[in-house]
Structures are given as structure tokens and as C-alpha cells.
Amino acid sequence: MSNNPLLHLLHVDALTPRGWAKDAWIAIAEGRIQKIVSPCEALPPLEGEVLTLPGWVASPGWIELQINGAFGVDFAEEPQRMWEIAARLPEFGLTAFLPTLVTSPLEAFRQAMKVWKAGPPPGWQGAIPLGLHFEGPFLNPKKKGAHNPKFLLQPNPDLVADWDSANGVRLVTLAPELPGAFELAQSLHRRGITLAIGHSHATFEEALAAFEQGFSYVTHLYNGMTPLEYRAPGLVGAILTHPEITVSLIADGVHVHPAMLKLAYQTRTPDQVVLVTDAMSALGMPPGRYPLGGGQEVFVDERSARLKDGTLAGSILKPVDALRNMMEYCHASLESVLPCLTSTPARVLGLANKGRLEVGADADLTLLDPQGNLGMTIVGGKVVYRA
Ligand code: ZN
């Protein structure tokens, strides 16, 4: 017997870079996709596990670039529990993600790097933490949102000397108009870190200058930034008129009006839109009080998560609902929205082997059942979640 496990998915509709492979056979071994045959007629005898899934949709595994926690745990408050929470994120269809830390004492960021670098406990399986997203602490106090102002800092490259890809730092959100922000951004960019604009009071002109400096991604478009006004287009205007900038959107219908989501979608291609949840620690939990980084308490009801003063503090959005909402608000097909959860976040991180269903790619798949509900999550060729 081969010690390479084999898994076969039969009669699924697979979204590939060339469009739908209808009624397909997907063969998986050694953690990679070995074969996609459509339609899957006249099969040879198959070795290994066979799952027959007529009417199911096989999407590339969903990749989440902004999630602050789940199941009662906040990644900034308890970074040591990162792997434990990662093990459960396939319950939301996620196959990979960036644990995201909001503004916190710098020690919390250091602790998260240590935990990420130490790797998973033996026998662990789950959604793969591809690295860390640091949302803060170099944010504009005028657009702080739910970030604790006590821990916001002025940009200073000396404070981030250990922020690099070897320590897991993949994405940093900062306000480019702060004094010293460009110098700090350049030092991060040289270390392979993707630069995101967010929680920023940048004007239209300051935004254009930031794009020149290598900021290529925007954290939760509309939220925490200068709005679109007709004589002062602001950061939002600079983004929506730019040909290349990629944006993330929180499509819960609470953070952003559906019409504004549609506007973003119409001015970008799906390759320039990432659906994020910005979910906080209450994701997957009943309403109640939950922690948020920076030592804060958040009040969570059925629809939203807020600080005591009513400020939105992350979401409780599930990726499958973000997908459904975008389809509904933008009158868009499944095929045109799925890249926002798959190939686009993979491209933001420069990953060639993820976010695509093609031969040779990592066998990370998120499957929807014939009713469109999340049905199964596969990471590295292993079924890690079944609804
Ligand atoms: Zn934010």
C-alpha cells in the first residue's frame, strides 16, 4: 500500500481558473490536486477514499485576511491560543487565514510572532495560519474605530525591527499620513510585508502618494477612512478611481451600506476585492460580552459587535454569509464572487499554490452542498470539517 493517502471527489462542480468544470472528478494525493477530469465518465478503479457529491460546488479553499478571533478567544488578548482556534476555523469554510491583531501593547505582537513561529502542536490539523496581520498600532487617532487609543503609536522603524516574514508578519495596516509612516512602511516592504492602508485620515493627495510608496491594499474600504465627498474625494475617492488597488470589504450589511458595496464591486474587478469578515472573538458564540485586543470589552447581539459607546468593534460575520450578501447586493454570480474569498486573497499574499483549483495546487477546498450551504472543508487533502 502506498502511504500517500488518496481522496477522490466525484460528480462535483469545480470552479477552476478556466471556469466551471461541471460534474468533475477531482483526485487528491500528497496534499495536492492530482487530477481534475470533467465530466467524470468511465472511471478507472479508484484507490483510497471516494466521496460522491452530485450537485455540490467545489471552491478553492477560502482564505481570510482579517479575523481577530473566534469561539470566545481574541488573538491579541490570548495569542497562545492561536493554534487551538485555527483548528476550529474550518467550521466556517476557512482553509487558511491571517490571525489579526488589533492595536495592543507591542508585547502582544511579539507573543503572537513567537506562537506562530513555534508551529502547531503534534497531530494538529485545521485552517493554516499563513502569517499574521497587524492592524495597528500605527493608526490615525482620528479614525481609530474600536482600537484602544491608549496603545496607538507614532510610526518608528525601531519599534518594528523584529517584524518580518520569518517571524510570520505578512500584512500590516497603517495610516500612511502619519509622520514617519513612509519610512516605517519602506522598512516593512523591504522585508516582504504587504502594506495596507487603514484607519487613516489621508486626503486624496496623501492617498496617491501612499500608493506610490508601495501601499497596494486597503483594509475594510469605507470603514475608518476619509469618505467620498464631491469636492474632496478623500481616501475612498483615491481608491475607487485607481486602476490597481485591491480592497477588502466587510459585507455584513452593517459596516457598509449594500449600495456602497456594489459601488466598490463595480469599480474593481473581482481580482481586486477581498471579502473579509473582520470577525471578533464572538464568532461562533451566542450574544454576550466578549474580549477585543487592547483590553477591551465588546457587547455582541445577533447582528453586530460594539463597544459600550456604540462603536462597531469587528463583526460576527461568517464567510459564507459574506459570499451570499455580496451576490445579493451586487446581483453577482457565485462564480464572480468566489475569487474574493480565494484567488484574490492568495494573490495579495503572493501565494501561487493556493486559491486555485488546478493540478499541482495545494488541495485546500471549501465545498458547498446543493442548497448552497457550507458542507465540507478540506485542508492539504484531508477532510477537516463536515457539516
Ligand atoms: Zn479595523
| Tens of pLDDT, residues 99-158 | 999 999 999 999 999 999 999 999 999 999 999 999 999 999 999 999 999 999 999 999
Give the distance (Å) from ligand 1 centre to CA of residue 225.
10
Give the chain's radius of gyration (CA, Å).
20
pLDDT tens per residue across span 3-52? 567 999 999 999 999 999 999 999 999 999 999 999 988 888 889 999 99
Give the distance (Å) from ligand 1 centre to CA of residue 222.
10
Indicate the SS3 state at residue 191: coil
H or E segment to which residue 303 belongs: none
DSSP state of 353: S
**Which residues make Cβ contacts (< 8 Å) with residue 275, sequence separation at least 6?**
248, 249, 251, 319, 322, 323, 326, 337, 340, 341
Q: Tell me, what's the pLDDT at 4?
A: 66
Q: Which of 60, 67, 47, 73 is nearest to 21 (CA)?
A: 60
Q: Which of 171, 243, 177, 244 is nearest to 204 (CA)?
A: 177
Angstrom distance (rounded) from CA 130 to CA 157? 24
Low-confidence ranges of the chain (pLDDT < 70): 1-4
Give the distance (Å) from ligand 1 centre to CA of residue 224.
7
- String of b and e for 93-119 (b: at least 16 CB within 10 Å)? bbbbbbbbbbbbbeebbebbbebbeee
Angstrom distance (rounded) from CA 387 to CA 384? 10
CB 73 within 8 A of CB 84: yes
Q: Which of 247, 158, 234 is nearest to 196 (CA)?
A: 247
* Fold of the 62-348 domain: TIM Barrel (3.20.20)
CB 319 within 8 A of CB 62: yes
Give me the helix-helix angle, 319-330 and 258-267, nearest 10°.
80
Angstrom distance (rounded) from CA 228 to CA 231? 9
Hey, how many other C-beta atoms are within 10 angstroms of the C-beta on 352? 11
Look-up: residue for cell 497587524? 134
Q: Which of 20, 18, 21 is nearest to 39 (CA)?
A: 21
Angstrom distance (rounded) from CA 251 to CA 100? 18
Q: Tell me, what's the pLDDT at 41?
A: 83
Q: What positions carry a catalytic annotation?
A: 278
Strand 94-102, strand 246-250: pairing? unpaired
H or E segment to which residue 299 belongs: strand 296-300
H or E segment to which residue 104 belongs: none
Give the distance (Å) from ligand 1 centre to CA of residue 169.
17
Give the distance (Å) from ligand 1 centre to CA of residue 32.
34
CB 113 within 8 A of CB 167: yes
Q: Tell me, what's the pLDDT at 3?
A: 52
Give the distance (Å) from ligand 1 centre to CA of residue 103.
9
Give the distance (Å) from ligand 1 centre to CA of residue 31.
34
Q: Which three cell numbers stand for residue 238?
A: 483615491
In the chain, % of residues over pLDDT 90? 97
Angstrom distance (rounded) from CA 192 to CA 170? 7
- Residue extent(s) of CATH 3.20.20.140 domains in the chain: 62-348
Give the distance (Å) from ligand 1 centre to CA of residue 19.
33
Angstrom distance (rounded) from CA 224 to CA 328? 25
Give the distance (Å) from ligand 1 centre to CA of residue 219.
7
CATH superfamily for domain 7-60+356-386: Urease, subunit C, domain 1 (2.30.40.10)
Strand 132-135, strand 94-102: pairing? parallel
- Residue extent(s) of CATH 2.30.40.10 domains in the chain: 7-60+356-386
